[in-house]
Amino acid sequence: MTHSRFRVGFMGRPMHHSFADTAAKQPALEIVTLGLERAEPEIAAMLAGCHGYYVRASRDELPRPWHVTPDFLGRFPRLLMVASYGAGYDTIDVDACTAAGVIVVNQAGGNAEGVAEHTIGMMLALLKRIPEAHALLRAGTLGHREMLMGRELVGRTVGIVGLGHVGSRTTRLANAFGCRVLAVDPYLDAATCAARGAQKTDFARLLAESDVVTVHCPLTHETRGMFGAAQYAAMRKGALFISTARGSIHDEAALHAALVSGHLAGAGLDVWEKEPPAPSHPLLSHPAVLASPHTAGVTHESRERVATMAAEAFALAAEGKVPPRLLNPAALERYAARWSETFTRAWPTG
């Protein structure tokens, strides 16, 4: 079967209206809304005719049948490209896509400002013990103010795990407070880290020397379970732990134990093993935990940027061009052949 337009399906509500607005200006694109209120066979029938899939990146917001797995790719053999809603891609098996000749892109960088500001906000709130003060005031149990003695961010050592878009922006904001920033990122050399405002180091030193450890890496086979009891114990006593990255990178039970013991002074968590966490989650009741429901990047500005970026990436694919932020370049050769077969013309950049 030949096609003239590149059909893109998305599940439920779009990230932002800028996705549809941008796509509408691209004559080579056709957008198909796959409403979750529809029956599963009806959604599958519609998706079967799509070349692109614009997929939610938060794993608990998307029903499992619509995660991009080997089984999913087998059910929808016409798919050529998958794009995540944001920087994360928990719902996409990238290796399976590569094997199937399906390219994968994310929208890395689009929400960096929003997430970095959220991270710094958590640092400041925890150091100044604002969540604890708020709870005591509401309960009417405030004693003397000195019981809420806080600390300042200026001059502290901040450890950044992952020095990509968000990590780099967080580093620059921390630099503005006069912070010394240590960074762990196996994909960057010392000179690149220095150019981004951080000193490259190893994981053990980062844990031992940082007053605040903040996580900004994707959830992968390498990072799953990166922070557990041993890592919290290796952190400086009284340090803060913050994650605006992905749940499952840190062990929640072990973190709670480190807070209860008093070894860690506080935690700022925007991401969870299951989202949203149950109201009875132990971390939510700890007075030194500042929690948010994966909203660090949920700003008007970030959402507009990432949605526009996704539409533009699909438009490039429709034209036979390689979109930016490609996560699996190894898929390109097979993808190009499949693109040419689908549209019965040579892949322009092939």
| Cβ contact 241:189 at 8 Å | no
Rounded distance between C-alpha atoms, residue 235 and residue 239, angstroms: 7
Which helix (DSSP H) or strand (DSSP E) does residue 96 occupy? helix 94-100
Distance CA 228, CA 273 (A): 13
Q: Choosing from 61, 209, 273, 275, which is the catalytic residue? A: 275
User: Widest CA span of the chain, in angstroms?
Assistant: 76
Nearest to 269 by CA among 301, 248, 243, 287: 243
Edge-to-edge order in the sheet of strand 289-291:
199-200, 180-184, 157-161, 212-215, 239-243, 264-269, 289-291
Beta bridge partners of 183: 160, 200
Is residue 138 part of the annotated active site? The answer reads no
Burial class (CB within 10 angstroms; exposed 0-12, middle 13-18, buried 19+) of 276: middle
Active site residue: 118, 156, 169, 246, which one? 246
Helix (H) or strand (E) holding 283: helix 282-285
281 carries an active-site annotation:
no
Decide if 294 is catalytic.
yes
User: How many CA atoms within 13 Å lie on the side-chain side of 81?
Assistant: 33
Catalytic residue among 281, 294, 305, 338: 294
Tokens of 335: 């993808």
Strands (E), the chain: 6-11, 29-34, 52-55, 81-84, 103-105, 157-161, 180-184, 199-200, 212-215, 239-243, 264-269, 289-291
Q: Which residues are catalytic?
A: 246, 275, 294
